[in-house]
């Protein structure tokens, strides 16, 4: 089952790198640098120029590496979601919950991770078939919010995005999240073309995740 396999890859990745970039080339190089550092989850955002082309190229590049899971981020509508899926995206992430996008992803059996901030939004997303809820922006909350959300909805799988660092990752995983989305501090060096630094920071995140999981 494709959807289940992709969900398992997402969960196994643990750290999902939210890749933005001023150009197609920057996003491609940043993604490769991140994977070289040991992070296997890539969320290529549609704010990147020619995003669908970048996704297609990344899927081809990492074809021989089954651990790598490539998805689309900042997907605002079903039209964009379909473009992403046709390009090979293995999951779709939105900053908000969108019913049509949820239905389209279900049609193609692609995991949909909508951004939610309230228990009402999370309930609606679950009803529409979302398997993982993206708590966004994560910086608006602390790790203790996870148990508050999971009290009435224990079946929630939450991936907070935004506001993470190597220092607080442990707390979020201890609170019960399935993965975390990391952008800013991981991707910052890419803007100046320092992709070796991106790999270095990715290695730190990958090592921290192994430590948290006791591997």
- Tell me which residues are annotated as active site: 43, 134
Tokens of 208: 């921290």
Report the distance separating Cα 17 and Cα 71, nearest Å. 10
**Residue (of 104, 149, 157) closest to 126 by Cα position:** 157
End-to-end CA distance of the chain: 27
Cα-flanking dihedrals φ and ψ of residue 159, to 5°?
-120, 100
Q: What is the dihedral of CA 3, 187, 67, 211, to 10 degrees?
A: -110
* Tokens matching residue 94: 């939105």
Half-sphere exposure of 213 (CA within 13 A, CB side): 15
């Amino acid at each position: 089952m494709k959807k289940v396999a992709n969900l398992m890859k997402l969960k196994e990745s643990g750290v999902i790198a939210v890749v933005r970039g001023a150009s197609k080339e920057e996003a491609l190089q940043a993604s490769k640098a991140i994977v070289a550092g040991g992070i296997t989850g890539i969320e290529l955002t549609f704010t990147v120029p020619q995003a669908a082309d970048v996704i297609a190229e990344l899927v081809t590049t990492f074809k021989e590496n089954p651990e790598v899971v490539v998805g689309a981020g900042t997907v605002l509508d079903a039209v964009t979601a379909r473009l992403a899926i046709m390009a090979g995206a293995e999951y779709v992430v939105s900053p908000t919950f969108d019913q049509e996008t949820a239905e389209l992803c279900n049609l193609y059996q692609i995991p949909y991770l909508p951004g939610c901030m309230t228990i009402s939004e999370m309930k609606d997303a679950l009803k529409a078939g979302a398997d993982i809820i993206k708590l966004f922006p994560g910086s608006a909350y602390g790790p203790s919010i996870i148990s508050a959300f999971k009290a009435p909805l224990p079946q929630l799988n939450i991936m907070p995005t935004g506001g993470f660092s190597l220092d607080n990752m442990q707390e979020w995983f201890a609170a019960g999240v399935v993965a975390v989305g990391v952008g800013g501090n991981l991707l910052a060096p890419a803007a100046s073309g320092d992709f070796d630094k991106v790999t270095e920071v990715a290695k730190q995140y990958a090592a921290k995740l192994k430590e948290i999981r006791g591997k």
